[in-house]
Amino acid sequence: MATARGTSAAKPKRAKKTEDVVHGIKGFDSNLQCLGYQYAVGKTYEHSGSVRMCASGFHFIEGNPLDVLDFYPLIGDDGKLNRFCSVAASGEIKRDGSTKSVTGKLTVSAELKVPEFIASAVEFVIDACKANPGENVQAASGDSSKLAASGHSSKLAASGHSSKLAASGDSSKLAASGHSSKLAASGDYSKLAASGHYSKLAASGHYSKLAASGDSSKLAASGDYSKLAASGENSVVAAAAPDCIASGADGTWISLAEFDRNGKCIGFATGCIGKDGLKADTPYRAHKGKLVEITA
């Protein structure tokens, strides 16, 4: 008697689990390096070993793009504009309760120029204001908007033309993407950025950083150790405090005060980028009545 052989059904293959992807932003120096590690747009990096906050792995900002300025301000210590990229994190991700995160796998998706970086910050702040009214964050998207904050670590952003932003607390962050915007901060360590043409930025606190990418912008700083950078043409940059650094595009006029060892102002060093050997996007300081390139 023949017996039928039993056949076992083939086991279905398990679908590969799709990795969750978290999008954020990361800051770099002018060479697209972070802590000496070289990155490139479009590449993915994987960390071998454990991931620990502020110790190992790839760090990025998961949330308000303006928070990246706490780690990579608009202008680096060398006087050059720092760079920012959108990134995608996957795999192991750890957080410390702030917007700073660390991951074992990071893809550098695309570089954000200053206008794009500011636009992303404005969009995030506006969305945050709608979702969480009452936080120490203010945003406006309409033309001729006016925003003001007096508390420390305030964040203000506007996307409309002719907007006015002002903050008096320390470590405030202001960003505007519309034309003819006016930004002012009086607290120390403030950061101001504008991407529209004809913008005006002013800071009176020490260690402030100002950056404008629109043409014909005007930047002014009266606090010590401030850094100013204008990437738009025909802009004006002026600093009336000791040890300030400035850079600009062709056609930008720069005026930096010079002080002696006793803290007394002894004059101004003035020049126009593109003339008399002054180079675009190069940091300068005042020395012996001239704008002197910072080489190290």
CA separation for the pair 228, 79 (Å, rounded): 8
Q: Domain boundary at 57, 87, 112, which? A: 112
Tell whether 9 is covered by a domain.
Answer: no
pLDDT of residue 104: 95
Could you tell me if 90 and 130 lie in one domain?
no
Which of 112, 131, 156 finishes a domain? 112
d(CA 36, CA 28) in angstroms, rounded, equals 10
Q: Decide if pLDDT at 5 tops 60.
A: no
Reading the block at residue 123, the tokens are 């969009």
**Same-domain check for residues 210 and 75:** no
**Each residue's pLDDT tens digit, 103-155:** 999 999 999 987 788 778 777 777 776 666 555 677 777 778 888 888 888 88
When pLDDT is cut at 50, 70 and 90, the band that residue 1 belongs to is: very low
Q: Which residues is 255 bridged to in the sheet?
A: 238, 270
- Residues 122, 158 contacting (CB under 8 angstroms): yes
- CA 96 and chain centroid, separation: 21
In the beta sheet, which residues pair with residue 58?
Answer: 103
Is pLDDT at 2 greater than 60 in this prediction?
no
Average pLDDT over residues 73-94: 87
Structural domain span for residue 83: 22-112
pLDDT band, residue 3 (cuts 50/70/90): very low
Q: What six digits make up the tokens of 251?
A: 């056609």
Say yes or no: 172 and 264 in one domain: yes
- State pTM to two decimals: 0.73
User: What DSSP assignment string belongs to 210-269?
Assistant: EEE-STT-EEEE-STT-EEEE-STT-EEEE-STT-EEEE-TT-EEEEEEE-TTS-EEEEE
Higher pLDDT, 219 or 142: 219
Is 238 a domain residue? yes
Give me the residue label for tokens 């404008």.
Answer: 212
pLDDT in tens, 229-286: 998 889 999 999 999 999 999 999 999 999 998 989 999 999 999 999 999 999 999 9
Around 75, how many Cα atoms within 13 Å sit in the side-chain half-sphere?
Answer: 31
Answer whether residue 149 is part of any domain.
yes
Strands 146-149 and 245-248: unpaired
| Same-domain check for residues 98 and 125 | no
| Whether residue 104 is found in the same domain as residue 179 | no
* Alpha helices (H) in the chain, listed in sequence order: 114-131
Q: Please give the average per-residue pLDDT across 200-222, as a whole number.
A: 92
Res 6 pLDDT > 50 = no
Q: Considering the domain boundaries, does residue 94 fall inside one?
A: yes
Give the pLDDT confidence of 28-82 residue by residue, as tens digits.
998 999 999 999 999 999 999 889 999 999 999 998 888 888 888 887 877 778 8
* Residues near 225 by beta carbon (within 8 Å), at least 6 away in sequence: 206, 207, 241, 242, 243, 244
Please answer whether residues 228 and 219 qualify as being in contact, where contact means their C-beta atoms are separated by less than 8 angstroms.
Answer: yes
Task: Show which of 85, 112, 139 is a domain's final residue.
Answer: 112
100-127 residues labelled b (16+ CB within 10 A) or e (exposed): bbbbbbbbbbeebebbbbbbbbbbbbbe
Residue 19 confidence (pLDDT): 66
Indicate whether 66 belongs to any domain: yes
